[in-house]
Chain A
Amino acid sequence: MSPDKTAIRIKPRQYKSDIKPVWCPGCGHFAVLNAITKALAHLALANKDVALLSGIGCSSRVPAYTSVYGFHGIHGRALALASGLKAARPELTVLVAGGDGDGLSIGGNHFIHACRRNMDMTYIIMDNEVYGMTKGQASPTTAPDWTMSKLTPHGTGQRPFQPAALALAAGASFIARGFSGDPNGLAQMLVKAIQHRGFSVIQALSPCPTYRPEHMDWKHQIREFTEPCTDDPITAAQRIQADDGQSTGIVFQRELPVWQPYHQKSPLRAPTAVLKSFEQEFAL
């Protein structure tokens, strides 16, 4: 998976489609899309061997804006879709992208199980702390006192999920937080996540200018973790818990057993001696 130095340098735009994103001007997701294409170009992966899968939401529109194989599925189920693909086609590079609502609310069960299963794929949670596609409702990462949604006029009154803590507790083997305001840093992080063998999670803070305009200030608040990445889950847990959710960097990376069923590249399709042997069992 390392880039071929002798090859002609591949441009990020070779991974973009000609479909114009539906996103609002100033949306952080543009930068996340750029980071994805930059990372793919850096790794010089063949478009045909990469699949980007998603669920539903503003961020989940991303597959159509790339020129790799894509699947824009249903709300919350992107990780399940991707797990099936990876199980059956282990040689593909599998990326999954989606929002905080898609991944942590309706898709929460798939998220924790994907962490635990630790299949070799990369999951980018484009976190803007709001449901943008449905016009501004609170998500599982929204602060409890955010009262701007008509659906929760008193705020949710519920403490938000901390995605990195959730991922760590559920068994993910690579956990990072990036920021759309630093697309190069995010791209480098993605390169490492794709290279990591196992389930890599990147929470990409990506502000919504339309429904959370106050988050456009994030660029003044976000800074890097002061300490380097650890492979010790206890240290990582302490760091994540002590943080206000606005430090970026790879916080945890460790080699853990990867779940991948053996799948022949060309599974036996024709009725063969194997099928006959099953039939023999019935004849006793």
Chain B
Amino acid sequence: MNPATNTNKQDISVALVGSGGAGVVAAGELLLTLAFESGYYGLMRKAYGPQIRGGESAALLRLGSYPIYCMDDNFDLLLALDWQNTERFAAEIPLADTSLIIADPAAGAIPPVIAASGAAVESAELAAMAGETPGGRGNMVALGLLSGWLGLDATKARRCISAAFSDKGSEVAASSIACFERGFVTGIKGLAAANITPTSSPEPRWHLSGNEACGLGVLRGGVRFAAAYPITPASDMLEWLAPRLEQLGGSLLQAEDELASINMIIGASFGGVPAMTATSGPGLALMLEGFGLAIASETPVVIINVMRGGPSTGIPTKSEQTDLNIALYGMHGDAPHLVLAALDTSDCIFTSQWAVRLAEALQASAIVLSDQGLAQSRALIPAPASPELALAVRKKPEITDAPYQRYAITEDGVSPMAVPGDAQTMYTADGLEHSPSGKPSSAFADHSAQLDKRQGKLQQFDYGEHWAETGGDGDTAIICWGSSTGAAREARQRLQQAGIPVRLIAMRLLLPARSAQMDEALRGVKRVLVVEQSHSRQFLHYLRAHFDIDAPMACLAKPGPLSISPGEIVERISNWRQDP
């Protein structure tokens, strides 16, 4: 058996493509909602052309009987409403000769780059079927075809469609339902019924995006102020947060730029209100001077950085794990800080919440790395357990006769922090190096004592088991971080089923590097495969710089926008070869 293949699978992968305005993303979202209602798990990525709005688009779905953490190696089905510019992201929709393409003959010939996959082709007259209903649309016919094939509940579907179009009037909803039904009864020829079944006793599940999950995480952590400048692909997190912060008695301020947003959250946090911002690479670059101020003045802040293809404007709508270097090393001066990464949609909640808690407890500055793939995918996940993390609490000063020292040297490196309004503890926070009282100082003794303190408080803290997700055994290990975890988990599972045990270390806490835990996790390992979505192997260099890994390392690295598939990881381990 070839372990690279996804055998015995109880999941299916569907790509819906069409030009801008064809409604494939709307149809995909409805399909995901229907799957949710019918008891399935799933994941949906949106693919757009290079432009942020308008133009060709695709809804890429994988639905299954178990939680789905990544896209499969290939799509089982490609359903095209039309072929306008589809070749621009054909590479993101891998097809095999076992795949099926369903296309409307009225939309013209299948682009050669797609036809070359060898996939079987069936036709469906989507436009003609839609034309039978006044105001009818092909995307709803496509939704019907797919729902019929998947055996989804038509009654629930009608309800979902009505709800989705409720603000567009009853005629739109009625014509959409008519088109759906036309597709539903037509079904799909040339393809066996999908081998997926709903979970027999569905556990509570959630339906959300990574950006929403990060938003929930910071609110759970206690954030009550945000300031931010719009940027793809972080803006929808901010849009989710704005009204909800208000409901919690807080607020979100749309800043004039990222230089302002970072300083605004430092100001709010100085005022005692836990604060965050969200941005993407170019915005992070602008924020880093301010981030240094937060570190030097020990004012807790959290930045959630949703990575996209870079450098410069790069590929704003596509995912990449390439802000690792700037997050780790972008600071001027010796500037100890926290860098965390969310491993999947559900973990966006945990990691964001944990980041706020750590920042507040340690008066530290944290960067949480997410990415476009994670942030803008919608997932159907098991409902996350209620948080066990205590709410973030800052160490408060006790009033004594001695003058208050804001930057007092303490055993754990954390100094009691007063906030404006507290009597008898007035102080000036400063980005200038300072003595324990906060008075500006350029003396070696003060500089080295404060550097020791700012580094020590992060190093000494007990981060517990949360530094990484570890599992499995055997003498081969996969080390990955952030959103590559989904593919790595599935690869490990496939190898396991093929009798090849593999360990997985998916890193959540990147700084401070937990070297003792890494040594423990890698004990007895004979070879290591590093997995990352970066051209220059940023993660591999990070591992070499921060850990003593004796085992030979190979690296599976590639830039965005193509995500790393489980099959590629399995292949690299099955046919082990050292990097040249």
Listed in ascending order, the chain A residues whose CB lies under 8 Å from chain B are: 17, 19, 46-51, 53, 63-64, 66-74, 76-77, 80-89, 91-92, 109-110, 113, 261-264, 266-272, 274-275, 278-279, 282-284
Query: For chain B residues 221-279, which have a beta carbon within 8 Å of chain A?
Result: 222, 224-225, 227, 244, 246-253, 255-257, 259-261, 263-273, 275
Q: What is the CA–CA distance of A91 and B273 in the complex, to the nearest angstrom?
A: 13
Contacts of B220 in A (CB 8 A): 271, 275
A74 touches B431 (CB 8 A): yes
Chain B binding surface SS class: mixed
Pick the residue among B205, B219, B424 that contacts A275 (CB under 8 A). B219
Q: What is the CA–CA distance of A263 and B271 in the complex, to the nearest angstrom?
A: 12
Q: What is the CA–CA distance of A55 and B326 in the complex, to the nearest angstrom?
A: 25
Query: For chain B residues 196-235, which have a beta carbon within 8 Å of chain A?
Result: 204-208, 212, 216, 219-220, 222, 224-225, 227
A84 touches B251 (CB 8 A): no
Apart from A50-B420, A275-B216: 12 A-B pairs, beta carbons within 8 A: A47-B426, A67-B426, A77-B293, A80-B260, A84-B227, A84-B270, A113-B256, A263-B250, A264-B250, A272-B248, A278-B244, A282-B207
Closest to A259 in B: B253
B360 to chain A, nearest CB (A): 11
Q: What is the CA–CA distance of A37 and B424 in the complex, to the nearest angstrom?
A: 18
Query: For chain B residues 425-468, which have a beta carbon within 8 Å of chain A?
Result: 425-432, 438-440
B290 within 8 Å of A by Cβ?
A: yes
- Please, could you name 25 A-B residue pairs with CB atoms under 8 Å apart, sorted by A? A64-B428, A67-B426, A71-B429, A71-B430, A72-B428, A72-B430, A72-B440, A73-B431, A74-B263, A80-B259, A81-B263, A83-B253, A83-B267, A87-B267, A91-B421, A109-B260, A261-B251, A262-B249, A267-B248, A267-B273, A268-B248, A275-B220, A279-B206, A282-B208, A283-B383
Closest to A53 in B: B267
Pick the residue among B275, B425, B427 that contacts A88 (CB under 8 A). B275
Pick the residue among B267, B292, B432 that contacts A82 (CB under 8 A). B267
B350 within 8 Å of A by Cβ?
A: no
Number of interface residues of B (CB under 8 A): 67
Closest to A92 in B: B420
Q: What is the CA–CA distance of A71 and B290 in the complex, to the nearest angstrom?
A: 13
B411 within 8 Å of A by Cβ?
A: no
Q: What is the CA–CA distance of A51 and B418 in the complex, to the nearest angstrom?
A: 13
Pick the residue among B246, B267, B293, B420 that contacts A262 (CB under 8 A). B246
Contacts of A83 in B (CB 8 A): 253, 260, 264, 267
Closest to A56 in B: B431
Pick the residue among B219, B246, B420 that contacts A89 (CB under 8 A). B420
A120 to chain B, nearest CB (A): 14
Q: What is the CA–CA distance of A68 and B420 in the complex, to the nearest angstrom?
A: 9
A81 touches B264 (CB 8 A): yes
A242 to chain B, nearest CB (A): 31
Q: What is the CA–CA distance of A204 and B259 in the complex, to the nearest angstrom?
A: 26
B247 touches A85 (CB 8 A): no
Closest to A111 in B: B256
B263 touches A267 (CB 8 A): no
Please judge, given known A-B contacts A64-B428, A88-B275, whether A269 and B251 are in contact too, CB under 8 Å: no
